[in-house]
Amino acid sequence: MKTEVEKKKESPSVGVSGRKIIYDKDGKPCRTCNTLQDFQFATQGGSVAPTFNVKKPLKKNHPDTTSTDTVAGGYTKDQPPDVEQLGKSSWTLLHSVAATYPETPTSKQQADMKQFILLFGNFYPCWFCGKDFQEYIEANEVQTATQDDLGKWLCIAHNAVNKKIGKAEFDCNLWKQRWKDGWEK
């Protein structure tokens, strides 16, 4: 029988996507902190052949769908979201909240928004990402005095994450065009 140290040595540290594999406190790969491919790679001991640019299956009733991959009730067999789906959806929510935040919020609205952002980090499904966000908040106080302050703070926080995962940074002076007003034609 292998010890936890031996198992850890055999566990891959980098997934097929090139990202670091995130493990739970119990040493198992975290389902929500890794891409689906990386999670499968790690749970199968690194034996899954790397595949890149995998086309996601189309949803039921999509014109190009020919599969009947459904369960009772006609629901598609969607998988739990992975770190990429969670990240994109979460940032969309946060930026959209900032875009509808009052231009001149009351002190209660400011306090509520700070609390919301703190709680968001505390309950984020990927514990690794949530901890990272909490550490960011501790080092960079949430700015809620105006809508523009909140929007730019979130953009800067998002850019900090983008930098860590090798994505391009966004010009935070353009946050309102991207998330509130839309681009000029």
Do both 26 and 111 map to the same domain? no
Q: Is the pTM of this model over 0.85?
A: no
Q: What percent of the chain has pLDDT over 90?
A: 52
- The token duo for 62 is 């999509």
CATH code: domain of residue 87: 1.20.120.310
Contact between 67 and 57 under an 8 Å Cβ cutoff? The reply is yes
For residues 46 and 24, the model is more confident at: 24
In a domain, 59, yes or no: no
In a domain, 96, yes or no: yes
Do both 29 and 87 map to the same domain? no
Residues 6+ away with beta carbon under 8 Å from 145:
105, 110
Residue range(s) defining the domain that contains residue 170? 83-181
In a domain, 71, yes or no: no
In a domain, 153, yes or no: yes
Do both 103 and 169 map to the same domain? yes
* pLDDT digit string, tens, across residues 106-136: 999 999 999 999 999 999 999 999 999 999 9
Beta bridge partners of 184: none
Contact between 126 and 90 under an 8 Å Cβ cutoff? The reply is no
Contact between 86 and 125 under an 8 Å Cβ cutoff? The reply is yes
Rounded mean pLDDT of the chain? 84
* pLDDT digit string, tens, across residues 94-103: 999 999 999 9
Domain count, the chain: 2
Contact between 106 and 123 under an 8 Å Cβ cutoff? The reply is no
**Taking CA 127 as the corner, what is the angle to CA 36 and CA 175, rounded to the nearest 5 degrees?**
85
Does position 153 have pLDDT exceeding 50, yes or no? yes
pLDDT number for residue 17: 86
Do both 25 and 102 map to the same domain? no
pLDDT number for residue 132: 96
In a domain, 57, yes or no: no
In a domain, 73, yes or no: no
Does position 64 have pLDDT exceeding 60, yes or no? no
Type and span of the H or E element at 156: helix 147-164
* pLDDT digit string, tens, across residues 53-63: 444 444 545 44
Do both 87 and 177 map to the same domain? yes
